[in-house]
Amino acid sequence: MTIDDLFQKPMKQLIITIDGPSGAGKTTVSRILAHRLGYRYIDTGALYRGVALAAISSGLRPDDDKGLEKLCDTLKMNFVRDEKGLRLVLNDSDITDQIRTPDITMFASAVSARPVVRNFLLNLQRNLGKEKGVVFEGRDMGTVVFPNADVKFFLDASQKTRAQRRYKEFKSVNPQSFEAVERDMRHRDKNDSTRNLAPLKPAEDAIHIDSTDLTIETVVDRMMTVIDNIT
């Protein structure tokens, strides 16, 4: 063993999950954390939005389980990275810029409660995590998809703060008023937390972080401290 060997601690490849409601800062935090670790980042909410876009384009209702099941059998989704960042590709078409609308958001919340959609994406997400070294962002990553994840975080913030963040994030492309954004968020929060299948809630062993009064860097630093203690 050389001197260099003593000081070079290999980074253990982990599955890290970050769950929480919309507007809590999951996307930004997950991207920065993955970059610091040299991990892949997976936005699982985008996958549900991709299914929602395909369903709307096919004229399906969110409760049409037979139609959704047939649709899912035809879908191929994956993430690719280009000069614009991480992009979602559905059946060879980049749909990243099409899935961030209020209609897609609400439809995605509705279809995410359907077992046929969740089963389809469950297998897809677990396949993406097989090699580890990945940060998964979502709503049931630590409770359902990866119950044995190496590190689990639940990121939250006050509803007012989350609505303000979402309004600022999308006001250039979303004509909704702040009041409408906040109203939609309350509706989605209720749908996500009260559904029978995989409701939004922290895993029992998740580390809870309230980002209401914290900067993004502070949140990431806290997560890095946790991760450093187990690697």
Q: Looking at per-residue confidence, does 172 or 98 come out higher?
A: 98
Is the whole model's pTM more than 0.75, yes or no?
yes
Least confident of 2-6, 65-69, 187-191, 210-214: 2-6
What is the rounded CA–CA span in Å between residue 128 and residue 135? 10
Average pLDDT, the chain: 90
Per-residue pLDDT for 3 more than 50? Answer: no
pLDDT in tens, 30-59: 999 999 999 999 999 999 999 999 999 999
The mean pLDDT value for 3-15 works out to 60
For residue 168, the number of C-alpha atoms closer than 13 Å in the C-beta half-sphere is 8
Among the listed residues 54, 58, 167, the one whose alpha carbon sits nearest the alpha carbon of residue 102:
167
Per-residue pLDDT for 29 more than 80? Answer: yes
The mean pLDDT value for 175-191 works out to 88
Domain boundaries, the chain: 14-225
pLDDT in tens, 140-163: 999 999 999 999 999 999 999 999
Per-residue pLDDT for 5 more than 50? Answer: no
Residue 123: pLDDT band (50, 70, 90) is very high
Domain 14-225 fold is Rossmann fold (3.40.50)
pLDDT in tens, 195-223: 888 888 999 999 999 999 999 999 999 99
Q: What stretch of H or E contains 40?
A: strand 40-43
Among the listed residues 127, 143, 98, the one whose alpha carbon sits nearest the alpha carbon of residue 40:
127
Predicted pLDDT at 11: 64
Q: Looking at per-residue confidence, does 101 or 71 come out higher?
A: 71
CA–chain centroid gap for 145, Å, is 12
Q: Which two tokens mark 185?
A: 């968020």
Predicted pLDDT at 82: 83
pLDDT in tens, 85-97: 789 999 999 999 9
The mean pLDDT value for 103-118 works out to 92
Distances (CA, A) of 52 to 79, 189, 224: 17, 18, 34
